[in-house]
Amino acid sequence: MIVSVILAAGEGTRMKSKHSKVTQTLLNRPMIDYVVSSSEEAGVEKNIVIVGKNIEQVKNIFQNRNIIYKTQNIGPEFPYGTGYAVSLAVDEIADDDDVLILNGDIPLLSSDSLSAFIKYHKESGLVGTLLTAIIEDPTNYGRIIKNESGHLIKIVEHRDANEEELKIHEFNPGVYIFRGSLLKESLKELDTDNDQGELYITDVVEILAKKGHILGTFLLDDVDEVHGINSKDQLSEAEEILRKRINTKHMKNGVIMENPSNIFIEPGVKIGMDTRIYSGAKILGKTVIGEDCIIDGGSTIIESEIEDNVQINRSVIEYSKVFKGATIGPFAHLRPKSEIGQNVHIGNFVETKNTKLGENTKAGHLAYIGDADLGKNINIGCGVIFVNFDGKDKFRSTIKDGAFIGSNSNVISPVTIEEDAFIAAGTSVTKDVEKGALFISRAESRSIADWVYIKRKKNR
């Protein structure tokens, strides 16, 4: 079995935040979630997360995930260091397990790279493998020291490196795989004989090498994948790397982007070919967008399904579905559970919620349609309001095919308006309307001559 131990207890004081470092977000998603998800996608069967005072914050992120938590206590009676943190997981590690050690603040490491790393370790027969990368300026990083055969023998921290070792540009990002039995034995041999007085997981490498065990390295092609995060500026840098990676992938798959550096797309989004996305758009969650769509700048789409040939103009869509050929906006708001049918038009400042609209129905401007089922070929006039709440309960209305709802009308739920019914402008619909009927509730209009002048004379 492959078991991961993910180190996530650090508070990250340089982050300058009341929130734990690993719960800071990149593209609207906590960095620890990227690490755990990559581990899961790489085939890790058991994930153990080492937490500290941030245990509740981390648990809230993974409420429905199968994760084991181990708490790293802090105080003079407890050891410090990465070696101690890993040792907290030994009860969950079998002798024949392969143990993948990850850091919770390296969110850009992809599942593909982790899978290749794990595969290399298994096929090479090594007892321990260290993922490494080469960086132009390795200052403050641990250097990789190998013997004449190219096998890993130790990791030397920057402050302890001699002149020759400082010339090495291959560094240690803190990602390892060890055979379970040997890792557990080595953890018992760690000591605090160093300038920090801590137990270091890096010392496991030298302990095993001195016993004659063969360890190796796996060189990562893209050093950005092990971009560590300790401050808000590093968080911003990592988010920009992730944004570019995601947007480039979509463009390679046929999506057209205007100014991709200013387009915000979360990792779980899927987008079809020839869809055009303009600067400023935000697409979040597990949204699916079809082909040949236009997403104008300023639009935000959250956890929604958008079919082919849809146009969205500076609008917000949340947890909804939009069928083929629909046009949305500008400045429309589809609230959760809206289903916008084929070739429907939702126009300026129209809001929908928990509503279905059949094909070719139109609501051009300034309307609220909530808790309703609308059929096909319906016209919703300007200023129409579906009055669905009495202060205590919500009610639902049904509008059938071909109905016409005149401007400034109120549909006071629950009512049913039958096929081809015509609701006159300014009407409040308080009861069901039969098929093909004209429904009107306005009082008779009249004009009182000279009313203004008579009123003025009385007020003198």
Pairing of strands 128-134, 170-179: antiparallel
Grouping H, G, I as helix, E, B as strand and the rest as coil, residue 158 is helix
Instruction: Give the residue-averaged pLDDT of 186-190.
Output: 93
pTM (2 decimals)? 0.86
Q: Where are the beta strands (DSSP E) in 226-318?
A: 256-257, 264-265, 270-271, 276-277, 282-284, 288-289, 294-295, 300-302, 305-306, 311-312, 316-318
Confidence of residue 384 (pLDDT cuts 50, 70, 90): very high
Domains for the chain: give ranges and CATH numbers.
Answer: 2-226 (3.90.550.10), 315-439 (2.160.10.10)
The answer, yes or no, to whether residue 73 has pLDDT greater than 90, is no
Q: State residue 245's pLDDT score.
A: 94
Confidence of residue 163 (pLDDT cuts 50, 70, 90): confident
The stretches of 190-296 forming alpha helices (DSSP H) are 203-210, 232-252
Instruction: Give the residue-averaged pLDDT of 129-141.
Output: 91
> 169 an active-site residue?
no
User: Which residues, in sequence order, are CB contacts of 307 under 8 Å at separation 6+?
Assistant: 290, 321, 322, 323, 324, 326
In the chain, the amino acid numbered 438 is: L
The answer, yes or no, to whether residue 396 has pLDDT greater than 70, is yes
The answer, yes or no, to whether residue 12 has pLDDT greater than 80, is no
Grouping H, G, I as helix, E, B as strand and the rest as coil, residue 348 is strand
Q: State residue 460's pLDDT score.
A: 66
**Rounded CA gap, 57 and 62, in Å?**
9
Give the DSSP letter of residue 21: G
User: What are φ and ψ of residue 347, in 5° steps?
Assistant: -100, -150
**Rounded CA gap, 456 and 460, in Å?**
7
Q: Distance from CA of residue 306 to its chain's centroid?
A: 18
| Dihedral angle over CA of 55, 60, 63, 68, nearest 10 | -10
The answer, yes or no, to whether residue 127 has pLDDT greater than 70, is yes
Confidence of residue 329 (pLDDT cuts 50, 70, 90): very high
The answer, yes or no, to whether residue 191 has pLDDT greater than 90, is no
Q: State residue 54's pLDDT score.
A: 92
Pairing of strands 25-26, 67-71: unpaired
User: How much is the mean pLDDT over the chain?
Assistant: 94
The answer, yes or no, to whether residue 426 has pLDDT greater than 90, is yes
The answer, yes or no, to whether residue 459 has pLDDT greater than 80, is no
State what percent of residues in the chain have pLDDT above 70.
Answer: 100
The answer, yes or no, to whether residue 41 has pLDDT greater than 80, is yes
Confidence of residue 424 (pLDDT cuts 50, 70, 90): very high
Q: State residue 30's pLDDT score.
A: 94
Residue of 19, 151, 213, 365 marked catalytic: 365
